[in-house]
Amino acid sequence: MIDVDGNLNRVRTRIREACIAAGRSEESVQLLAVSKTKPTPLVEAALQQGQVHFGENYLQDALTKIESINHPDVEWHFIGAIQSNKTRQIAEHFDWVHTVGSSKVARRLNDQRPENKPPIKVFLQVNIDQDEAKSGFLDTEIEAAIAEVKALPRLDLQGLMTLPRQRQTTLEQRQPFAALRNLQLTHCKDQNELSMGMSGDLEAAILEGATWVRIGTDIFGARSQS
Ligand SMILES: *Cc1c(COP(=O)(O)O)cnc(C)c1O
């Protein structure tokens, strides 16, 4: 059995220490616990420890957990790749989406967000490494994308998100995060959330201004698939 309590405490300590090192307040960074592929009891164990934000990548896997947990304080974040035919269920069941990477997906989420719910909170995903295999807007496209999303009334733009390729040293890890922060400062001053940093690079992300870190492995253990 995975020690979710101990793991969560260790991750919270790392976040606190990284905030101190960065000269930032601890409250300026929020923890998104990434529970993809993990069973409901592990999510419940984290919830018992006061964790209320959970990130999921796979729609069917997520819907099962959303339905069985059904707790008023829990907020669900979709952080996976989005196919157009999945936007309706995402708009209906999630509170946040970190991976809006095309105008088409943005418009569909806007059109499909149920009227009895508040606008869905979104991040625009930036393909910071300009990697052909990855989704997201290129930095040259982000200004137009921000303007477009701000005009969609059922989307509530929070800021920018990125998932860089893995890098080894903290110095290397900081580069794509610094690039994302610069894009936000240039184009997105009023929406200043930055979703960046995972188990292996949360310290680098916090040094560069992350306001949300997305942590899976170091809370719930390794995944057989990811
Ligand atoms: C899986 C995933 C994470 C968590 O990664 P870990 O290395 O397990 O902490 C964060 N963000 C996204 C977009 C992911 O797909």
Q: Between vectors from CA 211 to CA 57 and to CA 36, what angle results, nearest 5°?
A: 15
Sign of CA dihedral 195, 157, 127, 224: positive
Nearest-CA residue for atom 12 of ligand 1: 79
Is 199 touching ligand 1 by the criterion CB < 6 Å?
yes
Provide the pLDDT for residue 186: 97
- Using the predicted structure, report yes or no on whether residue 206 has a pLDDT greater than 80: yes
Provide the pLDDT for residue 16: 98
H or E element in which residue 34 lies: strand 30-34
Nearest-CA residue for atom 6 of ligand 1: 216
Quick one: pLDDT band at residue 133, thresholds 50, 70, 90? Answer: confident
Is 226 touching ligand 1 by the criterion CB < 6 Å?
yes
- Using the predicted structure, report yes or no on whether residue 200 has a pLDDT greater than 70: yes
Asked whether the beta carbons of 82 and 56 are under 8 A apart, the reply is no
Provide the pLDDT for residue 51: 98
CA of 192 to the centre of ligand 1 (A): 21
Helix axes 40-48, 4-22, angle to 10 degrees: 60
Is 34 touching ligand 1 by the criterion CB < 6 Å?
yes
Atom of ligand 1 nearest to the CA of 32: 10
CA of 51 to the centre of ligand 1 (A): 17
Asked whether the beta carbons of 162 and 198 are under 8 A apart, the reply is no
As a whole number of Å, the CA-based R_g of the chain is 17
Coil, strand, or helix at residue 170? helix
CA of 88 to the centre of ligand 1 (A): 23
Distances from the Cα of 221 to the Cα of 87, 116, 197, angstroms: 29, 36, 17
Atom of ligand 1 nearest to the CA of 79: 13
Quick one: pLDDT band at residue 64, thresholds 50, 70, 90? Answer: very high
* Candidate of 15, 79, 96, 225 to mutate for ligand 1, largest count of ligand atoms within 8 Å of Cβ: 79
Is 217 touching ligand 1 by the criterion CB < 6 Å?
yes
Quick one: pLDDT band at residue 224, thresholds 50, 70, 90? Answer: confident
Is 214 touching ligand 1 by the criterion CB < 6 Å?
yes
Asked whether the beta carbons of 120 and 91 are under 8 A apart, the reply is yes
Residues paired with residue 194 on neighbouring β-strands, in sequence order: 160
- Using the predicted structure, report yes or no on whether residue 226 has a pLDDT greater than 60: no
**Nearest Cα residue to 181 out of 211, 202, 156, 146:** 211
**Nearest Cα residue to 159 out of 91, 82, 100, 95:** 100
CA of 56 to the centre of ligand 1 (A): 9
Give the pair of three-digit tokens for residue 144: 């137009």
- Which tens digit of pLDDT belongs to each residue from 66-110? 999 999 999 999 999 999 999 999 999 999 999 999 999 999 999
CA of 79 to the centre of ligand 1 (A): 8
Give the pair of three-digit tokens for residue 94: 């999630």
Share of the chain above pLDDT 90, in %: 97
Asked whether the beta carbons of 161 and 121 are under 8 A apart, the reply is no
Average pLDDT, the chain: 97
Provide the pLDDT for residue 225: 53
- Which tens digit of pLDDT belongs to each residue from 38-63? 999 999 999 999 999 999 999 999 99
pTM: 0.97
Atom of ligand 1 nearest to the CA of 214: 10
DSSP state of 95: S
- Which tens digit of pLDDT belongs to each residue from 113-125? 999 999 999 999 9
